Structure 1
Amino acid sequence: MAERDDPEIIGRRVQQLRTELGLTQRQLAEPAYTPAYISTLEAGRVRPSEPALRHIAQRLGVGYEELATGRPTGFATELRLRLTGAQRTLATGESETAAAEFAKLLADAERHGLTAERADALLGLGECALETGDLETAQRRFAEAEDALGEDAPLPARVPARRGRAVAHYLAGELRYSCYLFESTLDELNRTGMHDPDALLLLYSGVIAPYMDMGAHARAAQAAELALALAPQSGDLALVARMHRSVARTMIAEGRTDEADASLAKASELYRRLQIRTELANCHWMRGYLHAQNGAYERAETELREARRMLSAKRAALYHSQATVELADVLHRRGKSEEAAALLHEVLTDLSPERGALHSAAAHRLLGIIAEDARDTESAEEHYVRALSLLERAGAAADLADLCRLLGDLFRRTGRVEAALDAYRTGLGHRTAPGHTTLGPAPAQPPV
């Protein structure tokens, strides 16, 4: 039977509409029903059949859906169309406008008791908060979206909210907890036989970034292989594009630059076709990183400046700050250290240990290198120590090992041999045991 309100609510609604029209119970009932039946129905003592409700709705001049649920006819369909519109607004990068649209949709869905639409509106608000860098709000909205669906909802339906939470914790620098959310969800999907291709693709693509930053490169590569194998089974082009962008990072780390460039080209083409501007900007960002790894700094600068322009124009604040750190690194390598330092000091006002911790650490690391080049060892040490604190909190093993090497070199050059040895030992400790996540064994694999 289709969704409808409780008999008591329907009864009160029928009585109110009948009274407003000035109809008696007999006039409403004829010719198919009796006044006594209408009286019993209005008292909420009987659950009316669908034919009875359709008869009464026709006599009252309202739609069946409005009488049965209190919602105007076609309201749920209209709400879905508005959700699609808000998602399109977000895709173009207008996160503030999209957030206002999702907030209105959330209120409407709650007022009319539409559970799935309420969850989707909360999911949209979480994505808006991610783009603007309000990670605490993002975590809360994604958790509310999952709660709205309830534990009875199939796990694949809850995966987008779970993935959103994991990404928000990752951006906040909580790498281990992010991996825990990704891995535990993957395990539950695969071990229970719920091999939903889109859900799995979303998770395997998402877990690559925290794996890479933790130094768990083997797991990242495995996740990339599984994502590539799942992609042909997905009909979601935006999801496939995201997969190509994520997988490119593992290819860059393995020195497969041509394959990485091809993956980024595929992602960019899909994002252009879908008009998803923020993700297209992130492709420019990743291509800039790729060129920088190959020593093509001029091309890298061009790509990263384009990424910053697009992200700034669309108010993707946190991503803009992160791309700025990458650009500053390229500028420093090109001998433009003053401009690089200015950008880094500017961006550090937008980053914090709870918001972009990894890129905040990268900014301090680069400022330390620039200070060393200027023979300002005191400032260099200060920046390195700040970066070390941020990376230790996040558990970014590979970056920690590199930073310990820089700090050890600084101590050695300034005659502090014991401190240098301690820094080198600490770095070796991080380098020899990278990639530990919360669950230990890698998550189960789907049959692909």
Structure 2
Amino acid sequence: MDLAGRLRDLRIQAGLTKTALAKPRYTVSYVSQIEAGRRTPSSEAMAFFARQLGVSPNFLATGIPEGIEDELRYRLEVARTRLREADPAASRELAGQVLARAAEYDLEAIRSEASLVAAEALAEQGRLSEAIDAFEEVLERELPERERALAVVGLARAYRTAGDLMYASQVVESFLGESRRGPLDPSLLAELQSVLVSIYFERGDMVRAERAARHALAAVADVGSLELRARTYWYAARVLAEQKKWSDALEMSTRARMLMEELDDRQSVARLHNAYAFLCLEAEPPRLEEARHHLDRAEALLSGTSARGELAYIHEERGRVALLAKRPDEALEWAERGLAEASPDGLENARCLYLKGRALSALERGEEARQVLREAADRFGAQGARQQEASCWRELGEIEVARGDLEAAVDALRAGLAALDPNRTRA
């Protein structure tokens, strides 16, 4: 609503005639011309009419109530807090309320921020298709650099979780490669590079993962939130673990966990206990009891939350513990529980299938194992997780060797080598 309509509506709501509004300083004609949109009142006239109407000059001029921006920003912070507390449903509801009020008063900056929080909440709920649409809608707006970078991070994470690793990396790389943009804030650069580390790691592209980890650690050295620093340390730990640098990897993982415990972010601390368990299982020799301890801590922290994807990861890691302890029956049970919790089209689903195939193979149920491992290989391949696809083919090759079918074994091993061919990736 423009000033003309607002002045007229407020006058009528106050029960004032044009004469009563104008007296004693202005004429009825002056008020009529303003209400007709033919005159713009001076600042002095605006202040006079606002007093007559019992509103602030700012509200009369803009239609925005006093303090509404502060109120909405506060409510948006509450929505962000709910997201950190693993309550994405409440976060999305609050963000939606802020979005509606911001739209009512045409507060574009707050609308953009609320849309971003709502998209992040959708992603945390596992509603990836809706989240991707929401992030892309946010990126179509005119955004400050910070919000644009955070939307890119959210979009890339959503594509990564959905399994499209190639496009996830392209989203970030394209943003970082924009020539029209100046230097990024170090904390945003660390966030973007950390996402790239996780994507490259899933793809098995360890050279790029290591390079991105170095960039992220350099950017976050003296700046950034505790949460960002923790996440960066964890991604660096995964790269170090892949290089068999176990002492350095565990040190980075411990730093990350301590930072998240300082923040008291239960879901993030649980993820880092999961991460520590992963590193314990990758160590030589595997540290099974320590891994169990961290998985117990992670599950306790997630009790009462809706983090099904995180629980699927815990079940998968418990299955790996069981396999290493030579208990394939138990590993198979954990794999089935993980599949029940995991998104049907995400990477965690493929990982649980891989665990199930290995457990079936250990139980000498070869035909079932072959079928499950082929399904896992197909899913990893479709999602660009080349290293994990190759692992499936290696397991299949070993099954064929045990069956005495050397030709099929060679075919499986060749398929594994083809999966690792860097020319298969667009990025």
Q: TM-score scaled by structure 2?
A: 0.93
What SS does the corresponding residue of 1:313 show, helix, strand or coil? coil
State the distance in 2 between where 1:205 and 1:423 align.
33
How big is each residue's C-alpha offset from its partner over 1:400-445, in whole Å with a ceiling of 9 and x where there is no partner?
A: 22211111111122132222111111112223x2486534xxxxxx
State the distance in 2 between where 1:352 and 1:87 align.
24
Query: Do residues 438 (structure 1) and 426 (structure 2) align?
Result: yes
State the distance in 2 between where 1:250 and 1:102 align.
36
State the distance in 2 between where 1:132 and 1:312 align.
16
Q: For residues 417 and 336 of structure 1, do their structure 2 counterparts lie closer, same or farther at Cα, with a shift above 3 Å needed?
A: closer
Letter of the 2:175 counterpart? T
State the distance in 2 between where 1:328 and 1:394 align.
23
Contact persistence 2:241–2:279 (CA under 8 A):
yes
Letter of the 1:438 counterpart? R
Letter of the 1:319 counterpart? E
Query: Do residues 55 (structure 1) and 43 (structure 2) align?
Result: no
Larger RCO (alpha carbons 8 Å, 6+ apart): 1
Q: For residues 242 and 44 of structure 1, do their structure 2 counterparts lie closer, same or farther at Cα, with a shift above 3 Å needed?
A: farther
State the distance in 2 between where 1:211 and 1:12 align.
56
Alpha-carbon shift at residue 312 of structure 1 (Å): 4.2
Letter of the 1:95 counterpart? P
Contact persistence 1:64–1:73 (CA under 8 A):
no
Equivalence for 1:115: 108
Equivalence for 1:380: 369
Equivalence for 1:252: 241
Query: Do residues 332 (structure 1) and 323 (structure 2) align?
Result: yes
What SS does the corresponding residue of 1:23 show, helix, strand or coil? coil
Q: For residues 205 and 28 of structure 1, do their structure 2 counterparts lie closer, same or farther at Cα, with a shift above 3 Å needed?
A: same
Pairing partner for 1:369 from 338, 342, 358: 358
1:154-173 map, 5 Å: 154-173=144-163
Letter of the 1:139 counterpart? I
Query: Do residues 129 (structure 1) and 122 (structure 2) align?
Result: yes
Query: Which stretch shows the higher mean deviation, 26-35 or 39-48?
Result: 26-35
Pairing partner for 2:137 from 134, 138, 144: 144
1:308-347 map, 5 Å: 308-347=299-338
Equivalence for 1:177: 167
State the distance in 1 between where 2:300 and 2:233 align.
22
Equivalence for 1:303: 294
Q: Segments of 4+ in structure 1 off by > 4 A?
A: none
State the distance in 2 between where 1:269 and 1:188 align.
35
State the distance in 2 between where 1:128 and 1:391 align.
26
Question: What is the aligned residue count?
Answer: 425
Contact persistence 1:331–1:337 (CA under 8 A):
yes
Query: Do residues 423 (structure 1) and 412 (structure 2) align?
Result: yes
Query: Which stretch shows the higher mean deviation, 256-265 or 167-176?
Result: 256-265
Contact persistence 1:172–1:353 (CA under 8 A):
no
Q: Could you list the runs of 5+ residues in structure 1 that have no partner in the other structure?
A: 440-448
Letter of the 1:82 counterpart? R
Equivalence for 1:271: 260
Q: CA RMSD in A?
A: 2.1
Contact persistence 2:190–2:232 (CA under 8 A):
yes
State the distance in 1 between where 2:230 and 2:106 align.
34
Contact persistence 1:398–1:434 (CA under 8 A):
no
Pairing partner for 2:37 from 44, 48, 56: 44
Pairing partner for 1:193 from 182, 190, 193: 182
State the distance in 1 between where 2:212 and 2:330 align.
38
Query: Do residues 14 (structure 1) and 1 (structure 2) align?
Result: no
Report the identity percentage.
32
Pairing partner for 2:67 from 65, 74, 90: 74
State the distance in 2 between where 1:414 and 1:306 align.
41
Q: For residues 67 and 361 of structure 1, do their structure 2 counterparts lie closer, same or farther at Cα, with a shift above 3 Å needed?
A: same
How big is each residue's C-alpha offset from its partner over 1:306-360, in whole Å with a ceiling of 9 and x where there is no partner?
A: 2233234221122221232122211221234333322221221333553x2x222
Alpha-carbon shift at residue 391 of structure 1 (Å): 1.0
Contact persistence 2:201–2:209 (CA under 8 A):
yes
Letter of the 1:115 counterpart? E
Equivalence for 1:446: none
Contact persistence 1:176–1:395 (CA under 8 A):
yes
Query: Which stretch shows the higher mean deviation, 418-427 or 264-273?
Result: 264-273
State the distance in 2 between where 1:132 and 1:335 align.
35
State the distance in 1 between where 2:231 and 2:44 align.
48
State the distance in 1 between where 2:23 and 2:330 align.
83
Equivalence for 1:349: 340
Contact persistence 1:277–1:310 (CA under 8 A):
yes
How big is each residue's C-alpha offset from its partner over 1:34-80, in whole Å with a ceiling of 9 and x where there is no partner?
A: 33222111112234444433332222111233323323210011000
State the distance in 2 between where 1:411 and 1:91 align.
47
Contact persistence 2:311–2:341 (CA under 8 A):
no
How big is each residue's C-alpha offset from its partner over 1:97-124, in whole Å with a ceiling of 9 and x where there is no partner?
A: 2222222222222222222222222222
Contact persistence 1:156–1:194 (CA under 8 A):
no
Q: For residues 261 and 65 of structure 1, do their structure 2 counterparts lie closer, same or farther at Cα, with a shift above 3 Å needed?
A: farther
Letter of the 1:201 counterpart? A
State the distance in 2 between where 1:47 and 1:276 align.
52
How big is each residue's C-alpha offset from its partner over 1:140-169, in whole Å with a ceiling of 9 and x where there is no partner?
A: 22122222x32xx34443111111111001
Query: Which stretch shows the higher mean deviation, 205-214 or 30-39?
Result: 30-39
Equivalence for 1:209: 198
Pairing partner for 1:105 from 87, 98, 106: 98
State the distance in 1 between where 2:54 and 2:320 align.
68
State the distance in 1 between where 2:397 and 2:252 align.
38
Q: TM-score scaled by structure 1?
A: 0.89
Letter of the 2:252 counterpart? S
